[in-house]
Amino acid sequence: MSDLFIIGSSGTRAYRTAMAAISENIANTGTSGYARRTVTTSESGSSTATMATYTARANFGGTHVTSIDRATDPYLDASVRATAMALGSAVARQRWLSDTETALNDTGTGIGQLMTDMYQNIDKLAASPGDTSLRVTTLDSIGRVAQSFNQTANDLRNIASGIATEAQSSVDTVNHALASLADINNSLLRAQPGTSAYAQLLDSRDAALSDLSSNLNVTISFGAHDSAEVSFGGQTLVSGITATSLSVAANDDGTLAFSLADGTALSAPASGTLGGLTAAAGTVADRRSDLDDLAAQFVTDMNAWHAQGVTDDGSAGGPLLAGTSATTISAILTDPTRFATKSADGTLNGNLLTVNSVLRGNGSVEQSWTALVATHASLLSSTNAEYKTATSRNDQAIAAREAVSGVDLDTEAADLLRVQQAYSGCAKILQVAKETIQSILDIM
């Protein structure tokens, strides 16, 4: 009779644990990073021997919970982390390269269009070189090109600053994930495998690894008690209960430099959000350098062209522009009477007529600007295509993992009904055993 009590009570305990796991699954439907729980049970043996001289014989003694398991697949988890790295990089590059394209401003208020307007104004002045209002308009258009260089340089500088700020935020996220992993590793070493608490720790571990891998292309391995070991660029970031931290700094040209907390230099991230930000920072630095080169060439070419001309009083043309970079370029000639419209032979519009041959065409600032905008547009187009591909692959990887780890309410409802019926059956066994004992006692 005692066997009935053992069987019934062990069954109610086991199925109560199973119902708790199902309830936890239902409560966490849609929770990011949650892996579905299942309960594994096994037969519980009991010995009938009561003395050392007797041979022990194991009889069925009910059931007991062996473990509470997470429905996971290490390969699918690693696949999601890998696609998240690629997606994080593509998202960062797409966002900042799009902003860079806006800063380059190939619209009517941008350098290219304003330069075209400037040449058109010079052509108009060539038709009437003595018109003071046309001279003023032409000088003003030269100044507006210089101002557009200033604005574009300022916009690109702000983008570089924004990239550095986001990189710092991403590094903070990485450092928080590294510290969390060290704490989780410590807890895993103390927790009992196969328990609900252990499963929760593994969920937290995977969430931290997800945050980490989406920001940085780390190498991940697992040690004792499923503890995470993390390294990057040959440097160990997390080992057991010890974690280090990263730092980022912006160089003078806007590129990013990474190091450990102790100052050890790190290689540039190749993927993840930080990899994308590093690539974007490098691209913006290149655009700023190219813009400075164009500004310097614009100053040199315009001043050289004006110097070959002659003013109304017969003197050589003075500098039109000053500055050596896009930030410092400025128009310095404002007096229309000092505009060198004549050629050396005295032709009133002689110098103006040389604009197309001297300032435009192969190797000109105008042509180089067009090439710069086209190059960036091509890079952004390829980045957009990469972003779409990365998004699709990441969605597929998540869907594959969710098919294994995700919670399906229909499945949980069916399991809950099954477990409830089993629980009721075990309770019925206890009731029958109790009634039987009571009947025997009544007879006595």
Least confident of 385-389, 390-394, 439-443: 439-443
Mean pLDDT throughout 370-384?
96
Q: Give the residue, 442 or 378, on which the prediction is more confident.
A: 378
Q: Are residues 203 and 182 in the same domain?
A: yes
Q: Are residues 199 and 283 in the same domain?
A: yes
Mean pLDDT throughout 155-166?
97
**What one-character DSSP code corresponds to residue 310?**
B
Banded pLDDT at 1 (limits 50, 70, 90):
very low
- Give the pLDDT confidence score for residue 45 in this predicted structure: 64
- Give the pLDDT confidence score for residue 60 in this predicted structure: 61
Asked if the structure places residue 243 within a domain, the reply is: no
- Phi first, then psi, for residue 112 (nearest 5°) are -60, -50
User: How many independent structural domains does the chain possess?
Assistant: 2
Phi-psi region of 340 (alpha: psi -120 to 50; beta: other; left: phi over 0): beta
**Highest-scoring range by mean pLDDT, 6-15, 138-147, 406-415:** 138-147
Mean pLDDT throughout 327-334?
96
Q: How many CA atoms lie within 13 A of 45 on its CB side?
A: 7
Phi-psi region of 155 (alpha: psi -120 to 50; beta: other; left: phi over 0): alpha
Least confident of 83-97, 326-340, 358-372, 425-439: 425-439
Q: How many angstroms separate the CA atoms of 213 and 198, rounded?
A: 22
Helix (H) or strand (E) holding 101: helix 74-104
- Give the pLDDT confidence score for residue 15 in this predicted structure: 86
Q: Are residues 190 and 119 in the same domain?
A: yes
Asked if the structure places residue 417 within a domain, the reply is: yes
Asked if the structure places residue 231 within a domain, the reply is: no
Q: Which residue shows structure tokens 């398991």? A: 69
- Phi first, then psi, for residue 3 (nearest 5°) are -65, -35
Mean pLDDT throughout 400-424?
89
Amino acid letter for position 281: A
Q: Are residues 274 and 336 in the same domain?
A: yes
Banded pLDDT at 213 (limits 50, 70, 90):
very high
Q: Are residues 36 and 93 in the same domain?
A: no
Mean pLDDT throughout 55-60?
54
- Give the pLDDT confidence score for residue 428 in this predicted structure: 83
Banded pLDDT at 441 (limits 50, 70, 90):
confident
The 10s digit of each residue's pLDDT in 259-283 is: 998 899 999 999 999 999 999 999 9
Asked if the structure places residue 119 within a domain, the reply is: yes
The CA-based dihedral angle spanning residues 191, 196, 199, 205, taken in that order and rounded to the nearest 10 degrees: -60
Q: Are residues 202 and 307 in the same domain?
A: yes
Nearest to 32 by CA among 391, 408, 402, 400: 402
- Give the pLDDT confidence score for residue 63 in this predicted structure: 82
Which residues are CB-neighbours of 141 under 8 A, at least 6 positions away? 114, 117, 118, 121
Q: Are residues 55 and 132 in the same domain?
A: no
- Give the pLDDT confidence score for residue 47 in this predicted structure: 46
Banded pLDDT at 31 (limits 50, 70, 90):
confident
What is the radius of gyration, based on Cα positions, of the chain?
37
- Give the pLDDT confidence score for residue 49 in this predicted structure: 47
Q: How many angstroms separate the CA atoms of 15 and 39, rounded?
A: 9
Amino acid letter for position 100: T
Asked if the structure places residue 226 within a domain, the reply is: no
Which residues does residue 45 pair with via DSSP β-bridges, in sequence order?
Answer: 60
Q: Are residues 149 and 34 in the same domain?
A: no
- Averaged pLDDT score across all residues of the chain: 91
Looking at the chain, the whole-number percentage of residues with pLDDT higher than 70 is 95
Compute CA distances 137 → 113, 160, 311, 334, 360, whole Å. Answer: 16, 35, 17, 10, 20
Phi-psi region of 234 (alpha: psi -120 to 50; beta: other; left: phi over 0): left
237, two tokens: 């970031």
The parent domain of residue 429 ranges over: 2-71+407-443
Mean pLDDT throughout 426-431?
81
Q: Are residues 340 and 439 in the same domain?
A: no
Q: Are residues 83 and 178 in the same domain?
A: yes
Q: How many angstroms separate the CA atoms of 416 and 270, rounded?
A: 47
Mean pLDDT throughout 396-423?
90
- Is residue 311 a contact partner of residue 339, using CB atoms and an 8 Å limit? yes
- Give the pLDDT confidence score for residue 324 in this predicted structure: 96
Asked if the structure places residue 241 within a domain, the reply is: no
Judged against a pLDDT cut of 80, whether residue 18 lies above it is answered with yes
Q: Give the residue, 45 or 379, on which the prediction is more confident.
A: 379
- Give the pLDDT confidence score for residue 61 in this predicted structure: 66
- Give the pLDDT confidence score for residue 434 in this predicted structure: 79
Q: Are residues 40 and 113 in the same domain?
A: no
Asked if the structure places residue 224 within a domain, the reply is: no
Q: Give the residue, 223 or 439, on which the prediction is more confident.
A: 223
Q: Are residues 27 and 141 in the same domain?
A: no
Nearest to 409 by CA among 400, 417, 401: 417
Q: Give the residue, 277 or 234, on which the prediction is more confident.
A: 277
Asked if the structure places residue 400 within a domain, the reply is: no
3-state secondary structure (DSSP) of residue 332: coil
State the helix-helix crossing angle for 111-127 and 132-190, rounded to 10 degrees. 170
- Is residue 350 a contact partner of residue 343, using CB atoms and an 8 Å limit? yes
Compute CA distances 80 → 42, 155, 180, 233, 391, whole Å. Answer: 33, 36, 20, 21, 11
Instruction: Give the angle subtended at the CA of 294 by the CAs of 257 and 166, to the nearest 5°.
Output: 30
